[in-house]
Structure 1
Amino acid sequence: MTSDTVPAFPMARAAGCPFDPPPELHRLQDEAPLTRVRLWDGSTPWLVTRYAEQRSLLADPRLSADVTRPGYPFPAPGRPTGTQKLGFILMDDPEHARLRRMVTAPFAIKRVEALRPAVQKIVDDLIDDLVAGPKPVDLVEAFALPVPSLVICALLGVPYADHDLFQGHSRNLISRSVPAEQRGASFRALHDYLDRLLAQKTADPGDDLLSQLVTRVQAGELERSDAAGIGVLLLVAGHETTANMIALGTLALLEHPDQLALLRDGDDPKLVAGAVEELLRYLNITHTGRRRVALDDIEIAGVTIRAGDGLILANDIGNRDPGTFTDPGTLDLTRDARRHVAFGFGVHQCLGQPLARLELQVVYSTLYRRIPTLRRAAALADIPFKHDGAVYGVYELPVTW
């Protein structure tokens, strides 16, 4: 390919197909598992479009997640410095593993499952408010955002009263359209906010994750700045991703009434758990790919990835790979979709996935049963989708019943 023929990334979705990856991604996947794409800065990293190669590379220690390394395919201007890393997510082992281990326990499956009654109460209370309030209503503002925000605030020890502050800065952090200076300012504001909370927990510790990080700081195992960075990561990821998945999943189900009926009319927990996995596979809210840079030469699928080459592993099209999933463009809640890569793969796969699964299971098994006539209160074409950020979803979802 010449520089003129290398396709630009990210690509646009087809009009009227908001749940599907861009057609250009399908075309590239059909042609080859790896191809070059052009980013905003003129760089041409490798785009990995097929499921098998994505899983293989995400598990390969010769790839680095360190955003400060030369060749890393940064998604927008404003490359962060080492002090602006979002917790451990943009670090490599062994430092990545050391820091991640400090916060793994609260996200263990058994610990998360113990939260189910509390999450159920949060969901039920918010639905009570929905039913008692005016309609139509924006489901994002009234339900999708509060559910995971209340849960992660309780887990971390962050006052939910501050949700306007951290939600606003979070939106800036994950938007490609926000200027680099503003994203940097939002990161610093969130970092300072978490640092102040850590100071409060030092004086008055509680039974929460931030207090546990304070204990690590006091033991000399962790710098307070790193503790604040971990707090930023968990706070942002803990509400943004799940909130978008709740709203986008609901919209997708409203557009597929036969699938919605399975959740609304059934009571099988296995069906609900499977539906969550299928919606994660089908929707892929992380829609600009996992970003890596090669540390050594790697031979894969007849291609030589050179040391210093950037890679984008596009999980949205990977989860639509017909070589792995039969009829992948169809939403089928009875499908066994557990092999999906919506949470990534390898050592950097999503730490909070057990909590996200639990929240989605409670929401998807409760909302449509409690409000069985839930429907859109705006045309699909009028719903504002988040095409400009690292996390895909909708800015608003007007609903009524």
Structure 2
Amino acid sequence: MAEATSSVADPDTSVPEYPMARSEGCPFDPPPGLYDLQRSGPLERVRLWDGTAPWLVTRYADQRALLADPRVSADVTRPGYPSPSAVPEDGNRVGFILMDDPEHARLRRMVTAPFTVKRVAAMRPAVQRIVDGLIEDMLAGPKPADLVEAFALPVPSLVICELLGVPYSDHDFFQSESRTVIKRDATPEDRGAALRRLGEYLHGLVGRKLAAPQDDLLSGLAERVQAEELTRQEAAQIGVLLLIAGHETTANMIALGTLTLLEHPDQLARLRDEDDPALVFRAVEELLRYLNITHNGRRRVALEDIEVAGQVVRAGEGLILPNDIANRDEEAFPDPDRLDLDRDARHHVAFGFGVHQCLGQSLARMELSVVYSTLYRRIPTLRLAEDVQRLPFKHDGSVYGVHELPVTW
């Protein structure tokens, strides 16, 4: 185990760099270096872009415990926080996701209602119509088709636009800006500029909802602004968070999940041929566990000294909790590198754990279940139109997937 030094700049080049590269021959698996660290011990030092050396937590049980621990902070402005990149000079943050309670809880409570299981279930028929319509359009179009552009990206974009009250006609703008925000090698200036443009866009939309409210989430936030429970800037930042998170992660999960199933034809055949809602449910959870779209690791900083697996993490030291390697921990998931649609994988940490657990997880699960129960039955001969080794995987962002997925039938 690495010696307990502070998480300030560490010149020791023997400390492995993070994030780590995936193996080109194993695009669905975590990086080989993460497996090595997991075998070495539950807590290991890694080196970041700025030379700091926070702790990387490799085991599932330790990650869950830390994510639920109030002595651990998600606040990016705290000293020692292991930021994945330089923070824009204006400190622009995306909504409440990088805040602690009580401010985090205050803002999150204002948008919880539309994401409850009951409200999400009521949206299912509308999502089914969106999925059916896009499949019809794809079948009527040329072959091969790019599943990302024709299907995977429009499904969640249309859904989140409807939920928020954002015009889908603006999708080229917000999808392009979102890609800049999550791009791993974007400069602080470019990332900050993209966040500002998105913030200004949502600020304007909130203003329109103030003048002419409708039945959507942004109108609900506008009511909070009128009641002086929320500033217009806070409402806009929440809108940016929900807009980015609401389409990027699910879009990549649809495309990468489909690719994974095409590469596991026996599993795909079951999903296509068996009319079993329980199988679809298990498939959604197992693919979420197996793939892990967010592959930059959750970032935290210790507020007090905390013992983790026999090692003391000192107050002010950074922590990185990569959900991809936690979801491949054999102590939590036997034979973890095998895709098994019969596995009960509900306890995965793809959506995190604790107070910062993903707000939109019920919506994402519902969208994925509609897609996975519809696409392969409607297009039973769906297949790749390009060799998997030639596909452009998203190694350049904090959200993993494929830039394009050429398919035919």
Which residue, 64, 73, 84 being the options, matches 1:75?
84
The code of the aligned residue for 2:48 comes to L
The code of the aligned residue for 2:96 comes to F
- C-alpha distance in 2 between matches for 1:300 and 1:331: 30
- C-alpha distance in 2 between matches for 1:231 and 1:366: 30
Aligned to 2:220: 212
Which residue, 174, 177, 193 being the options, matches 1:169?
177
- C-alpha distance in 1 between matches for 2:290 and 2:200: 37
Deviation string 1:181-223 (CA, Å, 9 cap, x unpaired) is: 1111100000000000011111100000000000001101001
Aligned to 1:276: 284
Contact 1:112–1:354 under 8 Å retained in 2: yes
Whether 1:64 aligns to 2:73 is yes
- C-alpha distance in 1 between matches for 2:224 and 2:211: 14
Following TM superposition, by how much is the alpha carbon of 1:79 offset from its aligned partner in structure 2, in angstroms?
Answer: 4.5
Following TM superposition, by how much is the alpha carbon of 1:80 offset from its aligned partner in structure 2, in angstroms?
Answer: 6.0
Whether 1:247 aligns to 2:247 is no
Aligned to 2:362: 354
What number of residue pairs does the alignment pair up? 400
Whether 1:330 aligns to 2:330 is no
Aligned to 2:107: 99
- C-alpha distance in 2 between matches for 1:100 and 1:123: 29
Deviation string 1:283-310 (CA, Å, 9 cap, x unpaired) is: 0001111000111110121111111101
Percent identity over the alignment is 72
- C-alpha distance in 1 between matches for 2:365 and 2:270: 18
Following TM superposition, by how much is the alpha carbon of 1:30 offset from its aligned partner in structure 2, in angstroms?
Answer: 1.3
Aligned to 2:96: 88
- Which piece of structure 1 moves more, 280-289 or 176-185? 176-185
Aligned to 2:309: 301
User: What is the aligned-residue RMSD (CA, Å)?
Assistant: 0.9
Contact 1:68–1:80 under 8 Å retained in 2: no
- C-alpha distance in 2 between matches for 1:269 and 1:315: 27
- 1:1-400 matches, within 5 Å, as 1=2, 3-79=12-88, 81-82=90-91, 84-400=92-408
Distance 1:288-1:243 versus aligned 2 partners, 3 A rule:
same
Deviation string 1:336-366 (CA, Å, 9 cap, x unpaired) is: 0000000000000000000000000000000
- C-alpha distance in 2 between matches for 1:3 and 1:80: 28
Following TM superposition, by how much is the alpha carbon of 1:178 offset from its aligned partner in structure 2, in angstroms?
Answer: 1.6
The code of the aligned residue for 2:184 comes to R
Contact 1:64–1:293 under 8 Å retained in 2: yes
Contact 2:88–2:189 under 8 Å retained in 1: no
The code of the aligned residue for 1:392 comes to Y
- C-alpha distance in 2 between matches for 1:300 and 1:71: 17
- C-alpha distance in 2 between matches for 1:352 and 1:199: 24
Following TM superposition, by how much is the alpha carbon of 1:267 offset from its aligned partner in structure 2, in angstroms?
Answer: 1.1
Following TM superposition, by how much is the alpha carbon of 1:116 offset from its aligned partner in structure 2, in angstroms?
Answer: 0.5
- Which piece of structure 1 moves more, 65-74 or 157-166? 65-74
The code of the aligned residue for 2:102 comes to P
Aligned to 2:8: none
TM superposition outliers: structure 1 runs of 4+ over 4 Å: 79-82
- C-alpha distance in 2 between matches for 1:15 and 1:245: 19
Following TM superposition, by how much is the alpha carbon of 1:330 offset from its aligned partner in structure 2, in angstroms?
Answer: 0.2
Unaligned runs of 5+ in 2: 3-10
Unaligned runs of 5+ in 1: none
Following TM superposition, by how much is the alpha carbon of 1:4 offset from its aligned partner in structure 2, in angstroms?
Answer: 2.2
Following TM superposition, by how much is the alpha carbon of 1:78 offset from its aligned partner in structure 2, in angstroms?
Answer: 3.2
- C-alpha distance in 2 between matches for 1:382 and 1:59: 40
Contact 1:6–1:37 under 8 Å retained in 2: yes
Please give the secondary structure, in 2, of the residue aligned with 1:270: helix
The code of the aligned residue for 2:104 comes to H
The code of the aligned residue for 1:121 comes to R
Query: Taking structure 2 as the reference length, what is the TM-score of the superposition?
Result: 0.97
The code of the aligned residue for 2:31 comes to P
Query: Taking structure 1 as the reference length, what is the TM-score of the superposition?
Result: 0.99
Deviation string 1:16-62 (CA, Å, 9 cap, x unpaired) is: 10000011111111121111000010000000110000000000011
Deviation string 1:296-337 (CA, Å, 9 cap, x unpaired) is: 110121111111101100100000000110100000011000
- C-alpha distance in 1 between matches for 2:78 and 2:227: 31
Contact 1:68–1:79 under 8 Å retained in 2: no
Following TM superposition, by how much is the alpha carbon of 1:381 offset from its aligned partner in structure 2, in angstroms?
Answer: 1.2
Please give the secondary structure, in 2, of the residue aligned with 1:341: coil
- C-alpha distance in 1 between matches for 2:13 and 2:177: 37
Aligned to 2:5: none
Contact 2:42–2:57 under 8 Å retained in 1: yes
Contact 1:174–1:390 under 8 Å retained in 2: yes
Please give the secondary structure, in 2, of the residue aligned with 1:115: helix
